[in-house]
Amino acid sequence: MKVLVATEKPFAGVAVKGIREIVEAAGHELALLEKYTDSKDLLKAVKDADALIVRSDKVTADVVAAAKNLKIVVRAGAGYDNLDLDALSAAKVVAMNTPGQNSNAVAELAVSFMVYMSRNQYTPATGSELKGKTLGVQAYGNVGRLVANIAKGFGMEIMAFDPFIPAEKIEADGVKVASSLEELYSSSNFISLHIPVTPQTKGSIGYALLSRMPKGGCLVNTARKEVINEAELVKVLTEREDLKYITDIAADNQAELNEKFGVRVFATPKKMGAQTSEANINAGLAAARQICDFFATGNTRFQLNRF
Ligand code: 3PG
């Protein structure tokens, strides 16, 4: 079988080496398409691929249509909003992700973002400490839990909101459970977002929630830009000169944000949450193993779609 790794933002070399070893040891062939800048290159490369490993690369209906031999696609990572699951299901292609494999890298970045903003982007202006502040974790999944755990080491109080996880499970970690999103935002000096993009979450973080944050509040986004209502973000940052926003996924209106709000906002030049050797190795090798196991035994653990 031909396994294509298509990564616009490549894995570290050591991860690619590990993926190759796993794929070839199972008797398959590895093909690489890295740093492509035109989606046409992906359409060409998938033509004869039996399996596909991607990161945030968009697997659209066109890609699925071009990939006549495709049986499985694995998103090496957690969020799978880049996969057209309907198109994949219609073509009877199994879609998987590798949950948890890159979570620590994202969690470390989220906590470092809090330090960076508390210290005014490392300018000499007097900053503040994380100790004693409250962190609100919005969605207590793999990343949210790790963020909470690291932040405890800074002496922060942690509160979380996650309607999909029983309160007892969250409380067992020494984390307070907010009864509503409104309570989470009203109580937290920092909010760290760990929600996926869904029809329900799209544009859901806006004026109503952010205006509730205590003085000096900071929103930390290592999730997705689509969950933010960007126009309302501008409005609240304009009205509340104490609020801050830091993101790993530049907003569509990032230039406007930077110009208007200076050191109160920051966006990384390119999404870097999962860009560590460790995360690349964990997620990349897991993806390769899941594909080889699927071909060898039909194992569909981590399958995201049903058909
Ligand atoms: C994820 O959903 O796993 C993260 O957003 C990482 O995305 P990346 O692989 O494109 O860095």
Cα–Cα distance list, 207 to 94, 138, 235, 261, 271 (Å)? 39, 16, 7, 16, 25
Which of 8, 11, 35, 55 to mutate for ligand 1's pocket (most ligand atoms within 8 Å of CB)?
Answer: 55
Q: Which two tokens stand for residue 93?
A: 């292609």
If one counts the domains in the chain, the total is: 2
- Rounded (10°) CA dihedral 284, 286, 292, 297: -160
Check residue 22 and give its pLDDT. Answer: 98
State in Å: Cα 54 to ligand 1 middle: 10
Which residues, 6+ apart, have CB-to-CB distance to 290 below 8 Å?
74, 96, 98, 299, 301, 302
Could you tell me if the CB of 280 is within 6 A of ligand 1?
no
State in Å: Cα 120 to ligand 1 middle: 27
Could you tell me if the CB of 77 is within 6 A of ligand 1?
yes
Tens-digit pLDDT string for the chain (307 aa)? 999 999 999 999 999 999 999 999 999 999 999 999 999 999 999 999 999 999 999 999 999 999 999 999 999 999 999 999 999 999 999 999 999 999 999 999 999 999 999 999 999 999 999 999 999 999 999 999 999 999 999 999 999 999 999 999 999 999 999 999 999 999 999 999 999 999 999 999 999 999 999 999 999 999 999 999 999 999 999 999 999 999 999 999 999 999 999 999 999 999 999 999 999 999 999 999 999 999 999 999 999 999 9
State in Å: Cα 278 to ligand 1 middle: 13
Check residue 137 and give its pLDDT. Answer: 99
Could you tell me if the CB of 98 is within 6 A of ligand 1?
no
Mean pLDDT over the full length of the chain: 98
Which of 11, 54, 271, 304 to mutate for ligand 1's pocket (most ligand atoms within 8 Å of CB)?
Answer: 271
Which of 19, 35, 56 to mutate for ligand 1's pocket (most ligand atoms within 8 Å of CB)?
Answer: 56
Which residues, 6+ apart, have CB-to-CB distance to 227 below 8 Å?
193, 195, 197, 201, 202, 203, 204, 205, 221
Q: Does one domain contain both 293 and 152?
A: no
Could you tell me if the CB of 55 is within 6 A of ligand 1?
yes
Atom of ligand 1 nearest to the CA of 56: 10
Which residues, 6+ apart, have CB-to-CB distance to 300 below 8 Å?
94, 96, 294
Could you tell me if the CB of 104 is within 6 A of ligand 1?
no
Instruction: Give Cα 276 distance to the centre of its chain.
Output: 14
pLDDT in tens, 40-81: 999 999 999 999 999 999 999 999 999 999 999 999 999 999
Check residue 236 and give its pLDDT. Answer: 98
Q: Does one domain contain both 115 and 42?
A: no
From 218, 232, 230, 259, select the one nearest 120 (Cα to Cα).
Answer: 218
Q: Does one domain contain both 110 and 236?
A: yes
Would you say residue 306 lies in a domain?
no
Q: Does one domain contain both 112 and 34?
A: no
From atom 5 of ligand 1, which residue's Cα is the shortest distance away?
Answer: 79
Check residue 31 and give its pLDDT. Answer: 98
Could you tell me if the CB of 78 is within 6 A of ligand 1?
yes
Using alpha carbons only, give the angle 125, 221, 198 rounded to the nearest 5 degrees.
165
Q: Give the other-Cβ count within 10 Å of 96's Cβ.
A: 25
Could you tell me if the CB of 224 is within 6 A of ligand 1?
no
Would you say residue 304 lies in a domain?
no
- CATH label of the domain that carries residue 256: 3.40.50.720
Q: Which two tokens stand for residue 6?
A: 């298509």
Atom of ligand 1 nearest to the CA of 98: 3
| C-alpha span between 284 and 101 (Å, rounded) | 9
Check residue 291 and give its pLDDT. Answer: 99
Atom of ligand 1 nearest to the CA of 76: 9
Atom of ligand 1 nearest to the CA of 222: 5
Determine contact, residues 96/72, Cβ cutoff 8 Å.
yes
From atom 11 of ligand 1, which residue's Cα is the shortest distance away?
Answer: 274
Check residue 57 and give its pLDDT. Answer: 98
State in Å: Cα 105 to ligand 1 middle: 10
Would you say residue 307 lies in a domain?
no
Round the CA-based radius of gyration of the chain to a whole number and report it. 20
Determine contact, residues 257/232, Cβ cutoff 8 Å.
no
Would you say residue 302 lies in a domain?
no
Q: Does one domain contain both 31 and 161?
A: no
Would you say residue 86 lies in a domain?
yes
From atom 3 of ligand 1, which residue's Cα is the shortest distance away?
Answer: 77
pLDDT in tens, 230-279: 999 999 999 999 999 999 999 999 999 999 999 999 999 999 999 999 99
The share of the chain scoring above pLDDT 70, in percent, equals: 100
Check residue 202 and give its pLDDT. Answer: 98
Would you say residue 305 lies in a domain?
no
Would you say residue 186 lies in a domain?
yes
Q: Residue 241's domain spans which residues?
A: 103-267
